[in-house]
């Protein structure tokens, strides 16, 4: 070997021995990535251990307020077809009896019972307490309470009659507080139960036309978060459902007075079927999930508005952490398009007013 070759070989050896330091950052990056992947996998694996045990609906007593129509009736059917005993609560007795007949068609055994109770859930707590007592005497302690009784109106803030603001808070908010208050002590004694509040996507975002409705649905979220912290040690889980527009008699009634802006904004997402919504809500309540949303829009809204709300699985928490920024970006585009709908409607109205004056 010539002296030149020897020198070159020495340099190559030196480089080989010393250049692995250059790879050190990559090796460290790989190790960190491997740790993160292993950590996330571990979280996914232990997630079911931390999540609540699913409630068995077979043989359970489920009380559904607003169970005579729309989403509430479909929730009652979904629970009944899984073997539950049902108490339907609403005001109109004829509608209740009709709903009872419809629910009974889905029996899976001949022991199942559907009980009907006519009461206004929003007016007098002692009345609500007494009918819940009656229901518990007949069908046993309540395992799951579904607070679905509710009503909606839409209209421009200054055009909504002042007493409607009070009425909506009474029906949508107090109408959920009273039945919940009436079942909670027994649930705590039994150290088990599920409480469901049927809010709305309008309980996650304030939209044009919902100045009376939205606050009554936002209020349920505050109630649910505070209550969940109190009753979690008693193995009682709260679910807040945020349905999108759903094809029910309630929606048909609301559509009669919807301002054009509200209609156009609502049209950006479709209308769901109540049985489809009910299936998702019941599944989430059975699993003890705090949030229950429908469809991709609902998923995005729930992740965006999770704030300090409880998580019922690590998977859910991880998804929220990862998706928050992206969803906020998408939401800004939605907000921009809603603002532009409102502006266009205003300009059109002003132009047609001006044209009317000229004529």
Ligand X SMILES: NC(=O)c1ccc[n+]([C@@H]2O[C@H](COP(=O)([O-])OP(=O)(O)OC[C@H]3O[C@@H](n4cnc5c(N)ncnc54)[C@H](OP(=O)(O)O)[C@@H]3O)[C@@H](O)[C@H]2O)c1
Just list the catalytic residues: 199, 213, 217
Smallest gap from residue 68 Cβ to ligand X (A):
4
Q: Is residue 257 within a helix (H) or strand (E), and if so which, with residue range?
A: none
Instruction: Please enumerate in sequence order all residues whose Cβ is within 8 A of that of 292, keeping only pairs 6 or more positions apart, or say none.
Output: 196, 239, 240, 241, 242, 280, 281, 284, 285
Question: What mask of x and - would describe binding to ligand X in positions 150 to 189, judged by CB under 6 A?
Answer: xxx------------------x---x--------------
User: Measured between alpha carbons, how far is 348 from 341 in angstroms, rounded to an integer?
Assistant: 11
Answer for which of 180, 200, 302, 313 binds ligand X (CB under 6 A) is 200
The pairing of strands 85-90 and 193-198 is: unpaired
Residue 271 is given by DSSP the state: -
Answer for which of 251, 286, 301, 314 binds ligand X (CB under 6 A) is 251
Smallest gap from residue 250 Cβ to ligand X (A):
3
Q: Is 54 in the site for ligand X (CB under 6 A)?
A: no
Smaller CB separation from ligand X, 199 or 313: 199
User: Measured between alpha carbons, how far is 179 from 232 in angstroms, rounded to an integer?
Assistant: 19
- Name the residue among 4, 65, 47 with its Cα closest to residue 289: 47
Answer for which of 103, 139, 145, 148 binds ligand X (CB under 6 A) is 148
Q: Is 95 in the site for ligand X (CB under 6 A)?
A: yes
Q: Is 195 in the site for ligand X (CB under 6 A)?
A: no
Answer for which of 154, 239, 246, 287 binds ligand X (CB under 6 A) is 246
Q: Are 281 and 198 in contact (CB under 8 A)?
A: yes
For every residue of 54-85, DSSP letters joined together read PPP-TT-EEEEETTTSHHHHHHHHHHHTTT-E
Q: Are 79 and 113 in contact (CB under 8 A)?
A: no
Smallest gap from residue 61 Cβ to ligand X (A):
19
Question: What mask of x and - would describe binding to ligand X in positions 116 to 135, judged by CB under 6 A?
Answer: ----xxx-------------
Smallest gap from residue 178 Cβ to ligand X (A):
10
Count, residues near ligand X per rule CB under 6 A: 30
Smaller CB separation from ligand X, 220 or 306: 220
Give me 357's structure tokens: 């004056």
Instruction: Please enumerate in sequence order all residues whose Cβ is within 8 A of that of 206, keeping only pairs 6 or more positions apart, or say none.
Output: 214, 218
Question: What mask of x and - would describe binding to ligand X in positions 65 to 94, judged by CB under 6 A?
Answer: xx-xxxxx-----------------xxx--
280 in helix, strand or coil?
helix
63 in helix, strand or coil?
strand
Answer for which of 132, 195, 198, 282 binds ligand X (CB under 6 A) is 198
173 in helix, strand or coil?
helix
- The window from 2-10, 238-246, 292-300, 309-317 that contacts ligand X (CB under 6 A) reads 238-246
Smallest gap from residue 70 Cβ to ligand X (A):
2
Smallest gap from residue 265 Cβ to ligand X (A):
14
CA 116 to each of CA 82, 122, 142: distance values in angstroms, whole numbers, following the listed order:
19, 17, 15
Q: Are 240 and 290 in contact (CB under 8 A)?
A: yes
* Site for ligand X, rule CB under 6 A: 65-66, 68-72, 90-92, 95, 120-122, 148-152, 171, 175, 198, 200, 243, 245-246, 248-251
């Amino acid at each position: 070997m010539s002296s030149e070759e020897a020198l070159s070989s020495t340099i190559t050896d030196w480089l080989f021995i010393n250049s692995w330091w250059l790879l050190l950052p990559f090796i460290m990056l790989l190790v960190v990535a491997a740790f993160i992947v292993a950590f996330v996998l571990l979280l996914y694996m232990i997630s079911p251990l931390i999540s609540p045990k699913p409630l068995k609906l077979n043989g359970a007593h489920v009380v559904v307020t607003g169970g005579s129509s729309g989403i509430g009736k479909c929730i009652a059917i979904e629970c009944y077809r899984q073997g539950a005993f049902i108490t339907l609560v609403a005001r109109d007795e004829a509608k209740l009896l009709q709903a009872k007949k419809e629910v009974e068609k889905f029996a899976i055994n001949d022991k199942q019972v559907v009980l009907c109770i006519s009461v206004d859930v929003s007016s007098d707590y002692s009345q609500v307490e007494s009918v819940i007592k009656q229901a518990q005497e007949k069908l046993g302690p309540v395992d799951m309470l579904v607070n679905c009784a509710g009503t909606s109106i839409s209209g421009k803030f200054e055009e909504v009659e002042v007493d409607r603001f009070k009425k909506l808070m009474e029906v949508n908010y107090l109408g959920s507080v009273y039945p919940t208050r009436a079942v909670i002590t027994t649930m705590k004694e039994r150290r088990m139960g599920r409480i469901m509040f049927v809010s709305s996507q309008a309980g996650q975002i304030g939209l044009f036309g919902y100045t009376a409705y939205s606050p009554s649905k936002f209020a349920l979220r505050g109630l649910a978060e505070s209550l969940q912290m109190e009753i979690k040690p008693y193995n009682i889980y709260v679910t807040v459902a945020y349905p999108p527009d759903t094809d029910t008699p309630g929606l048909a009634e609301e559509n009669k007075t919807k301002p054009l802006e509200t209609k156009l904004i609502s049209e950006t997402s479709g209308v769901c079927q109540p049985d489809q919504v009910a299936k998702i809500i019941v599944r989430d309540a059975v699993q003890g999930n705090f949030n229950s949303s429908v469809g991709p829009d609902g998923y995005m809204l729930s992740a965006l508005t999770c704030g300090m709300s409880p998580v019922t699985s690590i998977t859910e928490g991880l998804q929220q952490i990862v998706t928050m920024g992206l969803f906020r970006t998408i939401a800004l585009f939605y907000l921009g398009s809603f603002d532009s709908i409102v502006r266009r409607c205003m300009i059109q109205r002003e132009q047609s007013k001006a044209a009317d004056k000229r004529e």
